[in-house]
Structures are given as structure tokens and as C-alpha cells.
A = this chain, B = another copy of it.
């Protein structure tokens, strides 16, 4: 069959912006780049798209290789395609952002990477346009989480309302009223109260909740205004 002759072929990479939450702060998982150039510099984890895989599969593969995790929340953010963004050779990158439970991340023994969690407000200079990717991912996370219940993805299977509230407060850098917060969250009917308390963070202990996965999936696209004045966050 005819080929598309005289057209330029380009390297394509998938890069992942991986978010985590340690109970206090939002974190970003970065790796020390193995390839030249810039070997040893901090970067997002990424890899070239292989002949037999789609971009989403490439992102999943890269994420799995680093963290050992599958079934992770992974969303296409956007493409980065300035011709000179990679000084070695033209590479178009498709950025994905991932939300993972930070406790689940176990560095693979046979990893090629040195990986580390950094505070999202203070992380090292990154290679190429990775800084811009992180900024865009942060904006997207804020935008999306203002309407969709995706922040659960950053918490363990069992979590408390105060933990969840801290997460929202951290993501949006605001303080929220716990009475209004719990009413709003519980009115979505996505959470089930367990008869177990978290005694680590207070004497009285806070009830654990878990996601009702069925309802979560069914209502995943539902829109709720979780955050006051979501105007501020855009995408």
C-alpha cells in the first residue's frame, strides 16, 4: 500500500506528572534522568512511545515501571510540541497526570531510576519544559477537582473526613468550614462510614470512611461545586 512519503516522522514521548499527598502537603514524584543529555538532572518520568502501543499505554507502562502500580488515575493533560523543546532531537511529548496513594508507592528494586517525592511548592529545576507541564497539571487538577470527586485517588482506601478536608485545603490553599465540608461531601453519597476510627491523629479519633466504588464510578462525571468560587481555577 502507498505510504505517506516525504512527511517528517517525529519521536513521541509520554511524560507523567505524578501527584501524591502525605497528609499535609501535595507531592510530586520526580526521577533523575538516566539518558544523556541532562543525565542526573531531575525530570518527570517518561518514555518514548513504542511501535505497538498507544500513548495512554505508554504512559501507563512508564508509570507502572516506576511505581509498580496499575489501575491508577491517569488523565491526558496536553501535548508539548515546540520544535526545539528537546535540544537533542525533535520530540513531541504528551503529558499525563496521575493521582496515586503515596503509601502504595514502592520503588521497584530493579529500577533504572532514582526517584523521590518533592513538595509541590518546592522542587528542583526540571529539564526541558517539564516545569511548564507541572504548572499546567496543577492548574488542571484544581480545575477538575473543583467539580469532580477525584481527590479520593490521592488517599488510602480508608480515610477520615478531616484528612479529606486537609487535602482540599492543601490543593486550593484555602480554609474550609468543617461543618459545611462534611455536609457537602456526605451529600454526594459516595462515602460509607466504617465502624473503625483513626486514632493516630487525635485522641478522640475520627471515623474512617471508604468510597462506595459502585456509586463512585456511576457518578464519576457528576458535577458538584465542592469548592466555593471555582472561578479562580481554570483550564
Contacts and interface: CB of A to CB of B under 8 A. Distances in A.
Contacts of A8: 11, 48-51
Given A79-B79, A82-B54, A4 B35 contact: yes
A175 interface: no
A55 interface: yes
Interface stretch (A18-26, A90-98, A176-184, A204-212): A90-98
A49 B223 contact: no
B234 A37 contact: no
A221 interface: yes
Interface in A185-235: 220-223, 230-231, 234-235
B1 A11 contact: no
A56 B35 contact: no
A7 B90 CA distance: 12
Nearest to A144: B235
A139 B179 CA distance: 35
Contacts of A90: 51
B11 A4 contact: yes
A76 interface: yes
Contacts of A91: 4
A12 to B, nearest CB: 5
Interface in A1-59: 1-4, 7-12, 35-37, 48-56
A156 interface: no
A108 interface: no
A71 interface: no
A81 interface: yes
A51 to B, nearest CB: 5
B53 A83 contact: yes
Given A2-B37, A53-B83, A55-B92, 10 more contacts: A1-B87, A8-B11, A9-B9, A9-B10, A10-B49, A54-B81, A54-B83, A220-B234, A222-B231, A223-B231
14 contacts: A1-B37, A2-B37, A2-B88, A4-B35, A7-B48, A8-B50, A10-B10, A10-B11, A52-B83, A54-B81, A55-B79, A76-B78, A146-B223, A222-B231
The 6 closest A-B pairs by CB, nearest first: A221-B234, A9-B9, A55-B81, A54-B81, A7-B48, A222-B231
